[in-house]
Structure 1
Amino acid sequence: MKQERGFATLAVHAGEVPDPNTGASSPNLVMSTTYVTDPDVSFSAEDFGENTPFIYTRWGNPTIAQLEQKLASLEGAEAAIAFASGMAASTGLLLQFLLPGDHLIIADVSYAGVAEFAKDYLPARGIEVSRVDLSDPQNLQQALRPNTRLVYAETPANPILKLTDIAAVAAITHQAGARLIVDSTFATPVATRPLALGADFVVHSLTKYIGGHGDAIGGAVLGRAADLAILRKEVSIHLGGIISPFNAWLILRGLATLPIRMRAHEENALALARWLEQHPQVQRVIYPGLASHPQADLARRQMQNFSGMISFQVKGDAAALARRFAERLEVIHYAVSLGHHRSLIFYLSTRDMLRTSFMLSEAQEATYRSFAGDGIFRFSVGLEDAADLISDLEQAFA
């Protein structure tokens, strides 16, 4: 598929062709683990390359390859690798490009699993880790060291929707001879394409908006073909955290509707965010599409879609309200995860997040609390009628 095609056309067609034998229009699901091959083909990962035929699904699979090609087209990347989960994608990337004695700078607020991996696993294996508030690029400048190899950003950040200026952070990172990873799960390529802004790698949890239906776990790393060839051989093939072809097929199906889903998520989220701002029991609403977001200018400059994630603080006993939500909500599910077609809400206590996931300085904790207070409701606004979502929240608040 030619790159000059429109985004929606790529979402439907990139990586896919009608089956040459049957004429099937939709992508085939290939579940085979092994393939009949030429006797001259080497069965060694050392000889694996882009022209290697399908041999064994841990190495490559037709359905997974279609997903990777579509993802690369949508992100404007040279290549993509699909993994079994977003965590497998992130941890595999960090393990591949960090060695004992190297220094990693990670955003002070990142997805909890990645934050905990950087807090516990990496330092125990001789990798230095610094948590830095990347919402101010000067903080990155001051944190760089001669042995800094990677900078890991997440924008918007889970769960407080703090933003990072990708272009500014990429310039500083490259000046230091390091490489920039951006977790763009909340934004999706509909909103932001980090590679075009200077990032070296993009990470996605495909479980969220890209899959979109809450029925398939997956992850992906995108970037330059040469970097990803190394990652595929050393991490995907040798560590084996590959995605199931069935999950890849489900995510391919979800990707076709990503552009129209993201427009609907944004439209609903903006309506809900404006309604929540006026609610007497709501203390504060954080949404990149609101003028009240502390980085609204950056959001407008960097995001072409503001996604469907809202965080909000409430007045009074938030934990009691969380219990009431869990008992009373009828349309919205009280559940973790995000980016599904159905709406999900969950309360995240600041005390618990700081205790289990984030090791923050006093200044960083103050910034976190400026977004989250003592705790926030993370609201993944789905594709239902906005009026029904408002009505559901209204009766649960009462």
Structure 2
Amino acid sequence: MEISHILNELGEDRSLYFNAVAPPIVQSSNFVFDSFDEIRKAFEDENSTYLYSRGKNPTIEILRKKLAALDGAEDALVFNSGASAIFCSVMANIKTGDHIISVERPYSWASRMFDNLLPRFGVTTTYINGTDISNFEAAIRPETRIIYLESPNSLTFELQDLEAVAKLAKLHNIITILDNSYCTPLYQQPLALGIDLSLQSATKYLGGHSDTVAGVLTGKEDMLQRIFFEQLLNNGSGISPFNAWLILRGLRTLPMRLAHITQTTNKVIGFLKAHPKIDKVLFPFSDDFPQLELAKKQMTGACGLFTIVLKSDSYSQIEKFTYALKHFLVAVSWGGHESLILPQAAGIGPENFDPANERHRMARMYVGFEDADFLIADLEQALEVL
């Protein structure tokens, strides 16, 4: 299915809404039935018709169809945050006594669930270096139920060999879940590589404007149906119609935005790699990235998120550099129109800062919609403080 058809036409029957070009926001909380037979069928299967917008809603339904098609999936669910997508995908597939294998340093709300919530219910987690398939093999137990992946991660960008992990997991009847927020379906197709469930923070590139929070989960229909009934309906974590509409709006320009950001990012990285005050640049498609060949094998591109390691032995210098920037905002997340920076030192504190620890000198950067020369000039003047 062509991406232009998915983004501009799939799921949109304009005859149902006055031939409007843009789908409406169906903000209604509930829906009327014309017969007992209709409402009985709705109670039997709330995902088959419109009953109550906590579950199925016309605006959200259009978005689900598009997101499933983008991932080459049978079905998609849309949540009120990426954290909700993580929580529901995991909780629907575990029981007391189960074991999870996770890549080390996953997204913070995934690790908090593994470390703080799940142990209360007798579920344990083993963290591994996911760059070596043998680490997965060594960590598998009889009670292992889930392998949780994040490829690339969003700071140092380690990858996992998704095809190899998926094959190993299927041999042991283990479910694989991948956080694909960094790549989006345009730059990586996890399900085609054998992954069972692909999730994303739609807050980022899919929405694209830093004005909504959402999460996406895609996979086979039977598994998504179970997650819909056991998790999404029970904990009320579905997206609102208005936010679904904002994600629909963002999808229209997704290919153009990623193409522009990619082009700009490559120019900015080229400048930074040559600058004497930059120790190194971490980016999956850099020539010196340790897993470059794997990145090229399973990703068709990388986009606006990368990390720099500053040549500085001073906490205060890193803070001065950060706030000398005029056009990079100090903030979390990525994927919107604005360029961002997030220094690791900000979360450490001056009393714990250790310049010998490379991670303390890292700053994650995101390139937005601005022109490359505009951003390079800003970086050049800010680096003068180091």
SS at match of 1:109: coil
Partner residue of 1:282 out of 278, 282, 285: 278
2:44 alignment partner in structure 1:
47
CA shift in 2, pair 1:191/1:86, >3 Å: same
Question: How big is the shift at 1:374?
Answer: 3.0
What amino acid is the match of 2:238? I
User: Could you say which residue in structure 2 is the equivalent of 1:383?
Assistant: 369
For the residue of structure 1 that corresponds to 2:26, the secondary structure is: coil
Counterpart Cα distance in 1 of 2:314 and 2:372: 23
Asked whether the 8 Å contact 1:343–1:382 carries over to 2, the reply is yes
For residue 70 of structure 1, give the secondary structure of its aligned residue in structure 2: helix
The 10-residue stretch of structure 1 (311-320 or 133-142) with the greater mean CA deviation from structure 2: 311-320
Other structure's SS at 1:139 match: helix
Q: 1:262 to 1:126 in 2, by over 3 A?
A: same
Unaligned runs of 5+ in 1: 354-368
Partners of 1:36 and 1:45 in 2: CA distance: 11
Asked whether the equivalents of residues 281 and 314 of structure 1 are also in contact (C-alpha less than 8 Å), the reply is yes
Match of 1:129, as an amino acid? T
Contact 2:348 2:360 (C-alpha < 8 Å) held by counterparts: no
1:96 aligns with 2:96: no
CA RMSD of aligned residues (A): 1.9
Q: Which residue pairs with 2:31 in the alignment?
A: 35
Residues of 2 paired with 1:291 and 1:10: CA distance? 33
Residues 1:119 and 2:105 aligned together: no
Once structures 1 and 2 are overlaid, which stretch shifts more, 344-353 or 167-176?
344-353
Provide TM-score, normalisation by structure 2. Answer: 0.93
Q: Write out aligned runs for 1:1-398 (5 A).
A: 3=1, 6-40=2-36, 41-42=38-39, 47-48=44-45, 50=47, 52-317=48-313, 319-349=315-345, 352=348, 373-398=359-384
Q: Which deviates the most, 71-80 or 108-117?
A: 108-117
TM-score, scaled to structure 1: 0.90
**Structure 2 residue matching 1:31: 3-state secondary structure:** coil
| Residue 301 of structure 1, CA deviation | 1.0
Q: Deviations over 1:95-124 (max 9, x none)?
A: 111111001111112111111211111112
Cα offset for 1:16? 2.1
Give secondary structure in 1 for the equivalent of 2:198.
strand
SS of match in other structure, 1:116: helix
| Per-residue deviation, residues 70-118 of structure 1 (Å, max 9, x unmatched) | 1001110000000000000101111111111001111112111111211
- Stretch of structure 1 that moved more, 380-389 or 115-124: 115-124
TM-superposed CA distance for 1:253, in Å, is: 0.5
> Per-residue CA shift, 1:236-269, capped at 9, x if unaligned?
1111111111111001100111111111121111
* Kept in 1: contact 2:42–2:51 (CA 8 A): no
Distance 1:318 1:123, change over 3 A: farther
Q: 1:12, CA displacement in angstroms?
A: 2.4
Residue 375 (structure 1) shift: 3.8
Q: Distance in 2 between matches of 1:298 and 1:320?
A: 37
Query: Contact 1:110/1:157 (CA < 8 Å) preserved in 2?
Result: yes
Count of residue pairs brought into register by the alignment: 376
CA separation of 1:296 and 1:16: change in aligned 2, threshold 3 A = same
Q: Which amino acid aligns with 1:58?
A: R
In structure 1, C-alpha distance between the alignment counterparts of 2:50 and 2:34, rounded to whole Å: 10
Does the 8 A contact of 1:283 with 1:314 survive in 2?
yes
Amino acid at match of 1:282: I
Conserved? CA contact 1:350–1:373, under 8 Å? no
Note if contact 1:211-1:251 (Cα within 8 Å) is conserved in structure 2: yes
Aligned to 1:161, the other structure's residue is in SS state: coil
Check whether the contact 1:8–1:259 (CA below 8 A) recurs between aligned residues.
Answer: no
Separation (CA, whole Å) in 1 of partners of 2:282 and 2:115: 27
Q: State the match for 2:353 in structure 1.
A: none
Q: Report if the CA contact (8 A) 1:185-1:208 is conserved.
A: yes
Q: Distance between the aligned counterparts of 1:96 and 1:72, measured in 2? A: 19
Higher deviation after alignment, 295-304 or 20-29: 20-29
Distance 1:318 1:184 in 2: 35
Question: Unpaired segments of 5 or more residues in structure 2?
Answer: 350-356
C-alpha deviation, 1:45, in angstroms: 8.2
> 2:312–2:361: 8 Å Cα contact kept in structure 1?
no
Rounded to whole Å, the distance in 2 between the matches of 1:349 and 1:12 is 43
Deviations 1:312-358 (A, max 9, x none): 111114632442244322221111111112111111249849xxxxx
Deviation of the 1:46 alpha carbon:
6.7
Distance 1:26 1:206 in 2: 20
CA contact under 8 A between 2:344 and 2:359: conserved in structure 1?
no
Matches of 2:40 and 2:151 in 1, distance apart? 40
CA change 1:136–1:177 in 2 (3 A) is same
Q: Pick closer, same or farther for the CA change 1:121–1:17 going to 2, 3 Å.
A: same
Instruction: Give the share of equivalent positions with the same residue, in percent.
Output: 34
Deviation by residue 1:277-318 (Cα, 9 ceiling, x = unmatched): 111111111111211111011111111111211111111146
Distance 1:144 1:349, change over 3 A: farther
Q: 1 CA distance for matches of 2:39 and 2:128?
A: 45
